[in-house]
Structure 1
């Protein structure tokens, strides 16, 4: 790489890409390759391994020349590992990638949208199991019901160095953090860029009982009682729609004559 190339890189935002892994030998190579092959070059790769024993460390060694930081030690779970990434990262923005996710070659497109150092930028993902799209622009009301995909979020240094993930949530601590940040008035900007292929069959797909117990409290703390009422209303309406749909399906299934008139 010549001097001019290095000089140009220095003028662009530095993006930290954090990968947390534990016994992920089947997928970690693909995840790392997707990062290494980015056209955008001003990145650092931070891998925090939970003490794998399945060959993951051998794969990490193969990519060692590309890794800015690599540590392997026992941790208290995925968000403890992510908090370690936050402490090690130096980038202007930080995005997390699971060991079974793939980062699309679009970091350069996201960086083009980064006009303010204190904004959380986010885009879209593709579900790995179905190829379905997930994303779009989020409002407070939409965030009450669903989360912005972690693998499409770029947290600025002012955020990831100030707010850690709450370890009492095993799978949805990032959701709790996003609700908190929205409530604090941290600006979120939708980039309309497809960022990654997300393994939607991973741990977070199991749900998080502790998060669900705390959801109303989190909403109230961040947005106030009015949004608690909105959430309850929306959930009740959604359940009624589902029940009505099931009722109609059963009715139509039993009544061929009625089906002819609908």
Structure 2
């Protein structure tokens, strides 16, 4: 990969929806308010029945592509949406989340297509995020709404839909191990993240079962051992408390 040219810095903003009529317009309006001009909106709807389709129709002149049909879950819908990307950068936002002004500042800094850029999000009006490393990431995922990916990543990888809630975490573990990629932190708060979404309130039991196996496969024995040691220390500490 090479540095992105100025005229190639368009970003596809992907929204996956299902019965999101209560929040979708606010999400779209937050995208419209961005000062960064090169945003293309892609919406993949899972056959909503609550008025979501009416909102999409009303906004169709500002949405690059949208489609409604049944899907097999969030990440299946995201994988379908990726088939319609024509930009060099990709960002995912929930229909109940909103972009903040610093998203445009981060977008303007996208100059290296070997980088997955990530910043911070607001959670209940508090800044959440910060720089991380491979070991820390094996314990805690980066919020998906804090990340902007070079599009080629999704030509190489797709979301593993066997993980219904944490497929983005599984993907990021693979990306950490990819020698052609690096994670580039920007201290910018780019989205207001709704902490009541499914990924925040329900654990992905399949992913939790496979986490150590994924770390061993993509990071090797040393990182796997560090993760085991760190988990054991946290368990001992919690028992002391």
- TM category (shorter chain) comes to over 0.9
Q: Say whether residues 1:77 and 2:110 are aligned partners.
A: no
Which of 16, 22, 33 is equivalent to 1:37? Answer: 33
Q: Which runs of 5+ in 1 are unaligned?
A: 1-9, 246-262
Q: Say whether residues 1:114 and 2:110 are aligned partners.
A: yes
**DSSP 3-state at the match of 2:101:** coil
**DSSP 3-state at the match of 1:151:** helix
**Cα distance, 1:158–1:75 mapped onto 2, change above 3 Å:** same
> How far 1:131 sits from its partner (Å)?
2.1
**DSSP 3-state at the match of 1:161:** helix
**In 2: Cα distance, 1:144 partner to 1:93 partner:** 25
> How far 1:12 sits from its partner (Å)?
5.8
Q: What is the number of residues matched between the two proteins? A: 234
Q: Find the counterpart in structure 2 of residue 148 from structure 1.
A: 142
What TM-score does the superposition give when structure 1 sets the normalisation length? Answer: 0.86
Which of 46, 50, 53 is equivalent to 2:46? Answer: 50
CA contact (8 A) 1:95 1:154 kept: yes
Q: Find the counterpart in structure 2 of residue 183 from structure 1.
A: 177
**In 2: Cα distance, 1:92 partner to 1:150 partner:** 18
- Taking CA–CA contacts closer than 8 Å with sequence separation of 6 or more, which of the two structures ends up with the larger relative contact order? 2
**In 2: Cα distance, 1:32 partner to 1:23 partner:** 15
Q: Which runs of 5+ in 2 are unaligned?
A: 1-5
What TM-score does the superposition give when structure 2 sets the normalisation length? Answer: 0.94
CA contact (8 A) 1:87 1:161 kept: no
Which of 84, 87, 95 is equivalent to 2:83? Answer: 87
Which of 195, 201, 207 is equivalent to 2:190? Answer: 195
Q: Say whether residues 1:138 and 2:143 are aligned partners.
A: no
**In 2: Cα distance, 1:12 partner to 1:81 partner:** 25
**DSSP 3-state at the match of 2:111:** coil
Who wins on radius of gyration, i.e. which is larger? 1
**In 2: Cα distance, 1:96 partner to 1:131 partner:** 20
**Structure 1 stretches (4+) deviating beyond 4 angstroms?**
none
CA contact (8 A) 1:122 1:189 kept: yes
